[in-house]
Amino acid sequence: MIHYINPNERLTIAKVQEIVDNKMTLALSDEAKARIQKCRDYLNKKMETQKEPIYGVTTGFGSLCNISISKEQLSQLQKNLVMSHACGVGDEVPQEVVRLMLLLKAQNFCFGYSGAQLQTVQRLIDCYNNDVLPIVYQQGSLGASGDLCPLANLMLPAILGMGDVYYKGRRCDVKEVYAEFGWQPIELQSKEGLALLNGTQFMSSYATWCIIKAQRLSKQSDMILAMSLDAFDGRIEPFFESLHMVRPHKGQLETAKAIREYTEGSEIIARHKEHVQDPYSFRCAPQVHGAAKDTIAYVASVIETEINSTTDNPIVLPDEDMVISGGHFHGEPLAMVLDFLAIAVAELGSISERRTYQLIDAKRGLPSFLVAKPGLNSGFMIPQYAAAAIASQSKQLCTPCSVDSIPSSQNQEDLVSMGGNAATKCYRVMENTERIMAIELFDAAQALEFRRPLKSSPFIEKMLADYRKVVNFVDIDQIMYKHIHASVKFLQDMAM
């Protein structure tokens, strides 16, 4: 299957997920090729006729923008830029995010406002299609002059043939890959180095991965909630549609509807309840899960705008005969929503941990810590500790990055977004919440067994049967981390 990168077709989050899940091959559409070439031709002509300096084209970068560069040195200028800016440190960027960086950078160029050579864009696509993944590091981007540092580490092997990559499952010098494919380093033309490094593709790739993950976690949180509700012998009334119509937030209505559907036909949910109401982690789940849904929907709209935009600098406008130095590389739109997304998904983790605690607290006929002979057996005591520790870490990670700024480049870049930090910590929150939810599922499945011979709904019973294929009932103390890891993998592999 081939996905043609086309400036006339909007790239949606769903389409990105389809490209990734189906391992689609990328190709440039004819329209994309024409736009890229038109912009490059215009810029070449502009340099011959323009006498005034053009930022990043005939000048240095950042605070060095007032230094003019001779025509003979323009290619070296762009190469120097990539080499000098490749300063990434810290942990490696996950390979699934690096793939998205290649895809989204090619998407950025397809609109024809960047001045990149056609062969440069094609090389990015070749790297994607052949699974040649440059080593990129998580730390180094201020999220303001674009993601300069991580994009430099991306382009150094992909375009210049320097540095290391992952290829065929191993780390190697990119020169080996170049030799295998007969590639040559690309000689950068004017403005190209800046086009490669300016832009928000580090932030937007993380954001795209995170929003796909968040959408999945949001659906799974409702599924697990439904199982926990039955396992806890909870009440269904807080999920009635008539209740939520008097406060009709969209996500709240969707959550309540999902729980009604997931529990339909349950003998447990239908039976008489002795208790008048449930704790907030059950009763207020539509409000909490729903607010997260609404946040996720808003963040997705911002991300889709970003990945369908040109975000480098300067912007080349052939039809207007202008080359304008602006600020489209600034990551503030992404930084703010990545902070917001982290908060929303962390709250899904926090309420999940609270339900886990309710299930082990010897309430409503459930044994202490969900195990026979408590005392001799600790049962599910410590999985809740683990969930609490992870939830606490997520809360700390939710301190906003977007309100921070440290000036750089001799104060030319005097307010930055710190969107790179917002991106990497949001990724960690996604992983944390998945682990917390996996522990809730572990506990809910265990607790539900104590409701026998009553049956839950067909949906929940099917989910439990599938889960039991990878995680067994715990009758006496066992090594628990293996079950928790299997529970995480169950969520990751679950068909949605």
Nearest to 401 by CA among 151, 195, 206: 206
Distances 377 to 364, 381, 383, 444, 450 between C-alpha atoms, Å: 20, 9, 14, 18, 17
- Residue 77: enclosing H or E segment and its boundaries? helix 74-85
Q: What is the DSSP string of 92-108?
A: EPPHHHHHHHHHHHHHH
Q: What is the DSSP string of 306-321?
A: HHTS--SSSEEEGGGT
Distances 27 to 1, 24, 223 between C-alpha atoms, Å: 10, 10, 38
| Dist. CA 220–CA 495, nearest whole Å | 10
**273 touches 461 (CB < 8 A):** no
* 427 given a catalytic annotation: no
Measured between alpha carbons, how far apart are the two ends of the chain, in Å?
22
Residue type for 82, please?
A: V
Beta pairing partners, 137: 92
**259 touches 287 (CB < 8 A):** no
**487 touches 445 (CB < 8 A):** no
| Sequence-distant (≥ 6) Cβ neighbours of residue 376 within 8 angstroms | none
| Dist. CA 38–CA 483, nearest whole Å | 57
| Dist. CA 363–CA 386, nearest whole Å | 21
Q: Choose the catalytic residue: 55, 206, 262, 427.
A: 55
DSSP conformational letter for 242: H
**440 touches 355 (CB < 8 A):** yes
367: left (phi over 0), alpha (psi -120 to 50) or beta: beta
| Sequence-distant (≥ 6) Cβ neighbours of residue 202 within 8 angstroms | 93, 101, 136, 141, 143, 147, 150, 151, 420, 423
Residues designated catalytic: 55
